[in-house]
Structure formats: C-alpha cells, structure tokens
Amino acid sequence: MSNSMVEIDKHKLYHSHEYTFKNFIMMNDDEKRMVLKWRNDDSVRRWMYSAKQATEDEHFKYINSLESRNDRWYWIVYKKDLPVGVLVLALQDRDKELYEHGIYMNPELYGEGFGLFKEINNLLFYVLGIKQIYGSA
C-alpha cells in the first residue's frame, strides 16, 4: 500500500488568513470538553454518522486514538481567538488520494459559517494540497 502524497502534521497549527486549525491531539482537556458539548448538541449530533450521545470517556479515548491513525484528522478551528467549529478529514481511497470532509460549527455561532467554509477550502486545497475531496450531508 502506498503512502498518500499529502502529508499532514498532527502537531502543527495550520493557518489560513485569520483562522487557525489545531489538531484534536493538541487540544487541552477544556477544549476537548467544549468540542464534546458541541458534538452532543442536538443540532450537530443528528447529522453525525453516529448520532448517539458520546460520553466524556468515549470522546477522550477517541481523540487519543487519533495519534496513531493515518486516515482521520480532526481540527478545532479558531477565528482569531474564538473557537468556531470543527473540521474532519477522512481518507477514503489511498490509491486515488480521495478524501471526505465534514464540518460542524459551534452551535452558538450558526449563521456565521461562510468565512469558515472559504478558509477550509483554502486549507484543504492550497495549504495541504489535497486534489480530490467530497462531502456528504
């Protein structure tokens, strides 16, 4: 199996204009709890592949598992110092270098996501160099 040509450093803060993308494995416990609260909010959770409420223990264990995975990357996204959302990138086909991405916003900021979507595209295509990506709803 060949390695993907895209190299993502899980220990690096990525920047796109006024947005910062911080990998989940770099988050402190308060950030992990904040993201869990967002993820478990009904307005976010209902769109997840797994729509059941996640416990703090499950959430922390999953984040810890990301350290050794080369097929999933999660970032908490900040606009300046404000946490605005989460970006998920999943490798779907290594040979074709095909990725799927998912996004969810801080539920308190719905309606303010257009700039985030623009910067996510900038990060994925121009900073990381991803060639093929799809999303689903």
pLDDT at 132 (0 to 100): 82
Q: Which of 126, 80, 77, 78 is nearest to 103 (CA)?
A: 77
Residue 113 has pLDDT above 80, yes or no: no
pLDDT at 114 (0 to 100): 63
| pLDDT band with cut points at 50, 70 and 90 for residue 111 | low
Report which listed range, 1-15, 29-43, 44-58, 96-110, is most confident: 29-43
Between 11-25, 75-89, 117-131, the lowest mean confidence (pLDDT) is in: 117-131
Mean pLDDT, range 104-130, rounded to an integer? 83
| pLDDT band with cut points at 50, 70 and 90 for residue 1 | very low
Which strands make up the sheet holding 82-93, listed edge to edge? Answer: 14-16, 19-23, 72-79, 82-93, 98-105, 132-134
Residue 78 has pLDDT above 90, yes or no: yes
For residue 12, the one-letter residue type is K
Residue 70 has pLDDT above 70, yes or no: yes
pLDDT at 96 (0 to 100): 82
pLDDT at 131 (0 to 100): 85
Residue 56 to residue 113: CA distance in whole angstroms: 26
